[in-house]
Amino acid sequence: MLKICKSDSFSYQELSLDNLVKGAWIQLVNPTTWELNAVAEATQVPLDFLKAALDEEERSRIELEDNCILVITNIPLMINETNYDTLPLGMIVTEDYIITVCLENNPVFSEFNAVTYRTYNTAKRTRFLFQILYKSASYYLKYLRQINKHTDEIEIVLRTSMKNHEIFQLMDLQKGLTYFTVSLRSNGVVMDRLLRLRSNSQSQHLIKMYEEDEDLLEDVIIENNQAIQMVEMYTNILSSLTDAFASIISNNLTIVMKFLASMTIILAVPTMLASFWGMNVDVPFAHNPYGFAVVLAMAMAIAGISAFILWKKKMF
């Protein structure tokens, strides 16, 4: 998908490659080969830069060329309430345009639309780049809060559950946190390098930082560091919960098995007596009109004594 727009504090307009203007935002989402070639030809951006973010395993980094700069970071992705992942996002800043490339449409892009056009200016490429990074860091924090909330819900269920479903959910959340940890750390390295680019003469014509831009980038770094601390804390909590509740489920199963074993012992006594008095031979009380009641009383008494002994030994 290819989408081109230009926004400032007063207007929002959608464009095409035929009427491309300076200060436009070119958005590529899972682009076709034709779209990549067309954008590369119209903007004079190397095709390798446009394709870089289309690799799911692409690492966060910065690359400099004479006419453009490539910034690749990883953004969070929520698949469902227990499955989270990250996705590479490529941002290319040229002297005239800012280009974003991603494999999937994502909530970060949805924050910049025709309704919210007053909050961003695509012509201010450096500031717009930092705004995208800030939204990405904000979504990391949002998803981490959701993970923490869902963990609390799973914990309540696990206190009385003996099933593995909740354990598997915790494992999925833990895997998502692992992806978040790696991505946030690599994003932090990219942001630190962006902060150092203000003194790089080679990139000053591409990344022009004013005081407000530097403040915004510092806010992004703070948000990213906060997300790193939160993800480390939640990872430790989830790891401990997974181990603890795996032991609890095993202990609950042991308690159930112990109870069933005790009940088997108690019921074995009446069964044994019934087997003895069910033989086709002469047995005590065979001709006694109260024989059945006597045998039943004996069975109940022995079963009661067995139950009392097992209860004293805390078998159930």
290: domain CATH number is 1.20.58
CATH code of the domain in which 123 resides: 3.30.460.20
How far apart CA 82 and CA 77 sit, in angstroms, is: 11
Do residues 246 and 256 share a domain?
Answer: no
Q: Give residue 272's Cα distance to chain centre.
A: 57
Do residues 107 and 196 share a domain?
Answer: yes
User: Which pLDDT does position 285 carry in this prediction?
Assistant: 65
Do residues 166 and 181 share a domain?
Answer: yes
The number of folded domains in the chain is 2
Burial class of residue 72, CB neighbours in 10 A (0-12, 13-18, 19+): buried
Do residues 240 and 280 share a domain?
Answer: no
Domain termination site, one of 228, 251, 274: 251
Give the strands of the sheet with 2-7, arranged side by side: 12-15, 2-7, 25-29, 98-102, 84-94, 68-78, 61-64
Do residues 91 and 232 share a domain?
Answer: yes
Domain termination site, one of 223, 251, 279: 251
- Token output for 178: 């692992």
CB 154 within 8 A of CB 146: no
User: Which pLDDT does position 280 carry in this prediction?
Assistant: 65
Do residues 231 and 274 share a domain?
Answer: no
User: Which pLDDT does position 256 carry in this prediction?
Assistant: 80
Burial class of residue 126, CB neighbours in 10 A (0-12, 13-18, 19+): buried
* Longest CA pairwise span in the chain (Å): 114
Q: How many CB atoms are closer than 10 A to CB 211?
A: 7
Tens of pLDDT, residue by residue over 260-272, are 888 888 788 778 7
Do residues 11 and 159 share a domain?
Answer: yes
User: Which pLDDT does position 198 carry in this prediction?
Assistant: 67
Residues with pLDDT less than 50, the chain: none
Do residues 86 and 208 share a domain?
Answer: yes
Q: How far is CA 77 from CA 89, 199, 268, in A?
A: 11, 33, 58
Do residues 13 and 137 share a domain?
Answer: yes
- Token output for 142: 């949002």
Tens of pLDDT, residue by residue over 11-65, are 888 888 888 888 888 889 988 889 888 888 888 888 888 888 888 888 888 888 8
Indicate the SS3 state at residue 72.
Answer: strand
Domain termination site, one of 203, 219, 251: 251
- The range of the structural domain enclosing residue 62 comes to 2-251
- Full-model pTM: 0.77
